[in-house]
Amino acid sequence: MPKVVEETTIVKKLVLNHRYFILELQTHKPLQHIIAGQFVQILVPNNSTVFLRRPFSIHDITNDEHLRILIQIVGKATFSLSQLSENQTLNIIYPLGKGFHFNHLKNNALLIGGGCGVAPLLLLARQISKLGIHPDIIIGTKSVTDLIEIDEYKKYGEVYITTEDGSVGTKGYVTQHQIFNNLQKYEQIYACGPEAMMKAVSKKASEHNVPCQVSLENTMACGIGACLCCITPTIKGNLCVCTEGPVFNSNELLW
């Protein structure tokens, strides 16, 4: 689907807890060609100190023309977005980047998300489920209070939880979950989250010889390959995460 700049309307705002919220945007284009892992660049309204658009994964697509964006409040742009109300408009550029590859899947897959990195995995689980596959999904957070949208993920896969403080699920990091003792049963691993988590997952995947795709969250400015501020070193040279990613095969990254 060619990228467009569009004035969308916030048709729903869901506050999940003090740090996370969802904006559901009514678009004017059919969205069935969007691939999980692609993202939008949002122009932040009502804040004259935020000049650059901010990148956010497409969390879900509902009614074929509603985009859902899951946002964690971390700074001034995300705080400003949290102050918006239903019926306000939001200017976005979408769909950007290259998403996850999943059409080759035959049996199973493992999805791993940490922090706001869970965002693209809901659409991924939904799209994989259309192939008749019920993926395993591990969601890792610091504590039970950071767990969001679990019932949504359960619609498409088997959900496992890890928390660093052990308040729910397995105590520790995602890679300490017992699923990692039997990784070779998966055809493909997909991961999105903090860089340290993705590096640890990639290492385990390579030890068990399982292909792994990771979605990077490098700092971005233009989002369209013009400013080169998002480059990442790979075996194919330095690549722009915004146009050649954000999804990469982990064995192609030099990290």
Ligand X SMILES: Cc1cc2nc3c(=O)[nH]c(=O)nc-3n(C[C@H](O)[C@H](O)[C@H](O)COP(=O)(O)OP(=O)(O)OC[C@H]3O[C@@H](n4cnc5c(N)ncnc54)[C@H](O)[C@@H]3O)c2cc1C
Binding interface with ligand FES (CB under 6 A)? 220-223, 225-230, 240, 242
Residue nearest to ligand X (CB): 75
Neighbours of 199 (CB within 10 A): 16
Print the SS3 string covering 17-60: CCCEEEEEEECCCCCCCCCECEEEEECCCCCCCCCCCEEEECCE
Residue linked to tokens 């918006």: 84
At closest approach, how far in Å is the CB of 161 from ligand X?
19
Question: Is residue 201 a contact partner of residue 174, using CB atoms and an 8 Å limit?
Answer: yes
Residues in contact with ligand X, shown as a per-residue x/- string from 54 to 83 under the rule CB under 6 A: xxxx------------xxx-xxxxx-----
In 3-state terms, what secondary structure has residue 253?
strand
> Which residues have CB under 8 Å from 7's CB, separation 6+?
89, 90, 91
Residue linked to tokens 């998966």: 186
At closest approach, how far in Å is the CB of 183 from ligand X?
26
At closest approach, how far in Å is the CB of 246 from ligand X?
4
Binder of ligand X out of 10, 246, 248, 250 (CB under 6 A): 246
The partner in contact with residue 70, picked from ligand X, ligand FES, none with C-beta cut-offs of 5 to 8 angstroms by kind, is ligand X
Residues in contact with ligand X, shown as a per-residue x/- string from 84 to 123 under the rule CB under 6 A: --------------------------------x--x----
Residues forming the site for ligand X (CB under 6 A): 39, 54-57, 70-72, 74-78, 116, 119, 217-220, 246
